Amino acid sequence: MKPISPNVANFSAQPADASNGVWLCLVTYTTNPVNEIGQYLPGWQIIWNGVQTFDGNYAFVASDAAGENFALAIRGSLPPKDIFSNWNAFANWILEDLNVVTQSKWPYTSPTVNDAVVSSGAYLAFTNIECMRDSLGSGLSLLQFLQQHVINAGKKLLITGHSLGGNMANVYASYLVQQISVTGYVASKLSLFTFAAPASGNSSFARDLDDKLPNAWHYHNANDIIPNCPVGNLIVLTGLLYTPQPAAYKISVTFKGLTVTLQEAFLMLGGIFLLYDYQQESNHYVIFGTDLYPEYEDNTLEDWFAQAGAQHALSNYATFLGIDLPVITTNSLVRPLVAPALG
């Protein structure tokens, strides 16, 4: 797949709230979001701040200066380099990101949908977020807070997340819509913006979310492998990356004495996941391209995954929207540094 540069026409067609989504995602990765949000979104403040769960999930609710616009931002994965030294990162990846082989029934769908499932990892992360406590002392769960201070008051709510956070944004939005009883609220007040999100559930889950939340936007860098997961046909397409190099078909991997190209490995993996019926949403699903990072262009397994990690960074999504993100050295999921990583 030949990388392309962002298209100006496509960029100009994106809603203004997409930029706010990117900045909110950035704030979730900062060291102290409550104190730092004003640096990136002047006038905004965090009014419900989740206590990080045992496996590294984190989310907050923020409002603008006028108190008319609210946002729920959910953090993506912790840096994978910490997997073997930090339980939160280990659980973040092993129990949630990679827990896609088993699936859980998703009960928060429209009445006519009865076969929706999400990955067991996504269901676990969703449960953690809904049970999350507020460090600011409201004593309310996330749902209770949103209902009392945002939905019942008729305020606008933007839900957003990058990577695993985007996955969770999809799942939580699906849940929230089913809890809202205010007539007309969803279509007029609720929006969803995800960046680099892997698929949360099967085709029934995706169609149900599309049907009940029309104002949803999903951004996918064509050179980012994470949004391809764990969708069978998209995993197969991952084997076409990266052109001209590092090319998956030029890189060999060996497992239990069997040597195949990386492209063949993705072909086999994609065939397996076709059986699971994972699917991305369709509403405003925006695919754009980026240039390859020249420092990761050797035909080696290390450079292939380093290129993949660099392409997954939030900064690529920001650039498409005309935003130059600052460097946050605590998390390479924001901007590729010396050692980019997946998330």
- Report the pLDDT value the prediction gives residue 97, as an integer from 0 to 100: 64
Q: Are 222 and 1 in contact (CB under 8 A)?
A: yes
pLDDT tens, residue by residue, 200-209: 999 999 999 9
Res. 104 pLDDT band, cuts 50 70 90 = very high
Q: Measured in whole angstroms, how far is the alpha carbon of residue 46 from the centre of its chain?
A: 20
Picking from 209, 211, 206, 143, the residue whose alpha carbon sits closest to that of residue 180 is 143
Q: Which residues 6+ apart lie within 8 Å of 144 measured at CB? A: none
Q: Where are the beta strands (DSSP E) in 53-162?
A: 59-63, 69-74, 103-105, 117-119, 156-162
Q: How far apart are CA 261 and CA 249, in angstroms?
A: 6
Q: What is the pTM of this model?
A: 0.91
pLDDT digits (tens, 9 = 90+) for 163-219: 999 999 999 999 999 999 888 899 889 999 999 999 999 999 999 999 999 999 999
Spatial separation of the C-alpha atoms in residues 30 and 27, rounded to whole Å? 5
Least confident residue range of 4-18, 64-78, 99-113, 188-202: 4-18
